[in-house]
């Protein structure tokens, strides 16, 4: 199954890094987070990717164009203008890198790459989040639902500690960043049918995927939620990057390979 990845945004909330490179190219453990996302899908046999480019698209193109060279041991013979490859660790990826415009919104980016998807079920995610969702279970759930779109839903975590108190204001306890707020949010990792095309209108370039298309799918009862109760993390800020880096060094929960 082909995997579409949104990788064209500017990532303004992590501008310390994204001013220099596209957000999906920010590294965790010496590899772009985009690579980590691809590895998650590849662990389940999904190795064909369609990457929606925009901001600093050339950097992502150059990274993958030179991927084999950067991940191999080589001998360069300048006299003969030849390169001998001794060992390589290239991935079995097939990647279509599609420039979908600098300021195009996500609905427009998706609409622009549909010709590369073809008339088949595909997967979609964002280029800044990792997760340990079971993709086999996700696909099975989607097929059994019969809906056009299935979204992985995750429970929002609080960025702040919360307090438990009585009516008169007496504090009973403190809880540091509770993991379960009782609220479900969009965690990405979609499975989508080709019928999605009719929800991507002519003005899609100016519309977020999370607005009109998903609202219309909900109105038609054509979008379902696959509840994921385990690890999910979006790299939205520099603090998120540091947390992911620490996890990679200690407990890389999303590493399925």
The tokens for 223 are 């979008």
Flag whether 257 is in a domain: no
Flag whether 256 is in a domain: no
Residue 24: strand, helix, or coil = helix
Q: Are 213 and 200 in contact (CB under 8 A)?
A: yes
Across 132-143, b (16+ Cβ under 10 Å) vs e yields bbebeebbebbe
Q: What is the pLDDT of residue 88?
A: 73
Q: What is the pLDDT of residue 255?
A: 96
- Under 8 Å CB-to-CB from 189, ≥6 apart: which residues? 123, 125, 131, 133, 135, 138, 151, 152, 228
Number of structural domains the chain divides into: 1
* Main-chain phi, psi angles of 251, to 5 degrees: -155, 80
Q: Are 12 and 1 in contact (CB under 8 A)?
A: no
Residue 215 sits in which domain range? 3-250
Residue 26 is part of a domain; what is its CATH number?
Answer: 3.90.550.10
Flag whether 106 is in a domain: yes
Flag whether 182 is in a domain: yes
Q: What is the pLDDT of residue 178?
A: 60
Flag whether 219 is in a domain: yes
Flag whether 188 is in a domain: yes
pTM summary value: 0.89
Residue 154: strand, helix, or coil = strand
Q: What is the pLDDT of residue 60?
A: 96
Residue with tokens 């662990």: 43
Flag whether 218 is in a domain: yes
Q: What is the pLDDT of residue 224?
A: 96
Q: Check residue 177 and give left, alpha or beta (phi > 0: left; psi -120 to 50: alpha).
A: left
How would you write the pLDDT of the chain (257 residues) with one tens digit per residue? 999 999 998 877 777 776 788 999 999 999 999 999 999 999 999 999 999 999 999 999 999 998 888 888 889 999 999 888 887 777 889 999 999 999 999 999 999 999 999 999 999 999 999 999 999 999 999 999 999 999 999 987 766 667 778 887 777 777 766 666 568 899 999 999 999 999 999 999 999 999 999 999 999 999 999 999 999 999 999 999 999 999 999 999 999 99
The tokens for 73 are 């041991």
- Dihedral sign computed on CA atoms, order 125, 131, 133, 134: positive
Flag whether 63 is in a domain: yes
Q: What is the pLDDT of residue 160?
A: 61
Residue with tokens 């965790």: 28
Q: What is the pLDDT of residue 200?
A: 98
Q: How many residues does the chain have?
A: 257
């Amino acid at each position: 199954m082909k995997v579409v990845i949104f990788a064209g945004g500017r990532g303004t909330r992590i501008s310390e890094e994204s001013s220099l490179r596209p957000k999906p190219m920010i590294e965790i453990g010496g590899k772009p987070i985009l690579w980590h996302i691809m590895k998650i899908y590849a662990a389940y046999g999904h190795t064909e990717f369609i990457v929606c480019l925009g901001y600093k698209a050339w950097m992502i193109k150059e990274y993958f164009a030179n991927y084999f060279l950067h991940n191999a041991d080589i001998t360069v013979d300048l006299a003969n203008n030849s390169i001998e490859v001794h060992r390589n660790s290239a991935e079995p990826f097939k990647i279509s890198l599609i420039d979908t415009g600098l300021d195009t919104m996500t609905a427009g980016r998706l609409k622009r790459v549909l010709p590369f998807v073809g008339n088949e079920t595909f997967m979609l995610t964002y280029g800044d989040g990792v997760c340990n969702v079971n993709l086999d279970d996700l696909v099975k759930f989607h097929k059994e639902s019969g809906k056009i779109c299935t979204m992985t839903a995750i429970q929002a975590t609080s960025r702040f500690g919360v307090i438990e108190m009585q009516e008169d204001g007496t504090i009973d306890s403190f809880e540091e960043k509770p993991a379960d707020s009782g609220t479900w949010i969009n965690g990405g990792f979609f499975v989508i049918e080709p019928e999605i095309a009719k929800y991507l209108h002519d003005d899609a370039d100016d519309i977020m995927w999370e607005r009109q298309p998903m609202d219309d799918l909900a109105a038609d009862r054509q979008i379902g939620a696959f509840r994921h109760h385990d690890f999910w993390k979006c790299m939205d800020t520099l603090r998120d990057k540091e947390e992911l880096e620490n996890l990679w060094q200690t407990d890389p929960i999303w590493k399925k390979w």
